[in-house]
Structure 1
Amino acid sequence: MLEQSNHEVSTSIAKKISTTLILGLVFSALLLMLGNGGNISWFPPIVVFSLVGIALLSALLFPFIWHYLEHEQKMNSAKIYGFLYSGIRYAIAFNIASFGWKKFYGLQFIVPTEIASLPMNQQSGE
């Protein structure tokens, strides 16, 4: 009975969708955190938002491809779950570490002088 319940869990499309969606969201948050300042010359906003779109789109499409290939006996779900869970763990860990680095080095609430010199009613909400 235990083997049957494990097999049902590994073939659940809902679990596949939720796992890939969590990874897509966490990875997108990481990309946005890295590219939000716009101070990395080789990582401009157009690249950041393109990668976020690709990450979210693949997070929505991959579970269905995975589910189909699993039923064709061409994919090992245990290895894929392990890869996805590792990706979630590492992305969260890097997000937390980056937040700490920004705090430690005083890089968190830096406002460029051209924005700081504007009157408050002319600044954007962000």
Structure 2
Amino acid sequence: MVSSITNGVKISVQTEFQPEYSNPFQAHFVFSYHVRIQNESDFTVKLLRRHWYIYDANGQIREVEGEGVVGQQPTLEPGQSYEYTSGCNLNTSIGKMAGTYQMERVFDGKYFNVIIPDFNLIAPFRMN
């Protein structure tokens, strides 16, 4: 698991290879990632947008942007957390993801970005 804190918002990510949805013989590798967003600041914050960079071992980079996460724009009071699981497919057995969440500090409407730490996507058989 990797974690980082930006402006009092902690992001933790854990990944898992999904062999039942993958087909290595057709260069199709599926990974899930579980994200926990913890508001350790003194302010209520709302997650507005996500911006991902997805890298594979062939040097391809995909960019994904959009509102919220898994169809939600959670609002977190100080001390609250929000968790979700999503997925990513790659053409290689190794890759990584990183990005940012755009957040809003509710009391004054100020926007700020929270860093999503780089995390690796590695099929277990590559670890041998």
* Length-normalised TM-score, structure 2: 0.23
Q: In terms of Rg, which structure is larger? A: 1
